[in-house]
Structure 1
């Protein structure tokens, strides 16, 4: 992937290589672009692109696993400020669970990429096969969130990990998730 101009990796902590950090930052830029709808021909950004444009990559690392020091794990941390358009209007202005799930889904494949690319394997983001989320406490507009994703196990096609969303403003866990990510098979043309 060709890096975008003006991508700054200086604020990204962690021991991942400059190339890996650039790839992650470039993927955020690509996801936040406007597309043209095929059905209408009109520009459309979409909610995922809108929220991705507000996310910041704070860390990309490959670390020794605490439980198995001879094995490595990938770790990424993204930051985002909860905005009013992320709130659930039916509730008391708390962050919508669907919005939070989308942010988790977008962030969770990234440590898999970091670990595989750091260890010489082919770095592929893959797609979610399963995502199980537990909501612990609400977040409200103005709260700063850290989305911390780590790998658990990597197979040749199926990989698993966990994600925790921490409210930095209120010092509490907002949500935790376990996920299974897979490398899709080649699609056949119809």
Structure 2
């Protein structure tokens, strides 16, 4: 299958480079210098179920000289998404906000600079509006208007396509990770403090 075939279902005016990068979530880890075994990472089943359906770049309505990125993903609620009440688990919803909003952030970064800047989460504010039950089709709409060199933010709305209602909304702020400082330890000083 050609690269064009892989992204042919993704609507929006984003470049093929951005679409090809974001359609394979392994690229996000590679860009961060990581190579985890995705099959064993938290939420793999949930993230693997996502389908990117749109990646668009357009002028910000409030400040037309600036750009925004919009990424839309779809998925269906399966048993692995559920809490004990049989509805979308809050941790699952938070994972969707975290991951999907990051796609919009990276799309805007790539559009502006040509390169992805994969950050780490700083804050997330989540609001639960309505439940989503087994089998419901979800549409995760993510918009990024700020993809700075240090701090980035995006907003997310998770909609039930089945019931045409807002399920969850959230705002995600991330920042580029700092380089860890080497830890030096003086054993004599440490022992004296005990």
Q: Distance in 2 between matches of 1:14 and 1:75?
A: 9
* 8 Å contact from structure 2 (residues 7, 19) kept in 1: yes
Deviation at 1:85, TM superposition (A): 1.9
* 8 Å contact from structure 2 (residues 22, 28) kept in 1: no
* 8 Å contact from structure 2 (residues 56, 71) kept in 1: yes
* 8 Å contact from structure 2 (residues 122, 173) kept in 1: yes
Q: Distance in 1 between matches of 2:26 and 2:4?
A: 13
Name the Cα RMSD after superposition. Answer: 2.5
Work out which of the residue numbers 151, 155, 159 in structure 2 matches 1:162: 155
| 1:58-69 matches, cutoff 5 A | 58-69=53-64
Work out which of the residue numbers 133, 136, 150 in structure 2 matches 1:140: 133
TM-score norm. by structure 1 comes to 0.84
Segments of structure 2 that go 5 or more residues without pairing to the other structure are 30-34, 184-194
Deviation at 1:24, TM superposition (A): 0.5
Per-residue CA deviations over 1:32-89 (Å, capped at 9, x if unaligned) read x9839xxxxxxx6244111111110111111111222221101111111000221111
State whether structure 2 residue 103 is matched by structure 1 residue 110: yes
Greater C-alpha radius of gyration:
2
Aligned to 1:35: 37
| 1:116-131 matches, cutoff 5 A | 116-131=109-124
* 8 Å contact from structure 1 (residues 74, 112) kept in 2: yes
TM-score norm. by structure 2 comes to 0.82
Aligned to 2:190: none
| 1:8-19 matches, cutoff 5 A | 8-19=6-17
After the TM superposition, which parts of structure 1 deviate over 3 Å for at least 4 consecutive aligned residues? Answer: 4-7, 28-31
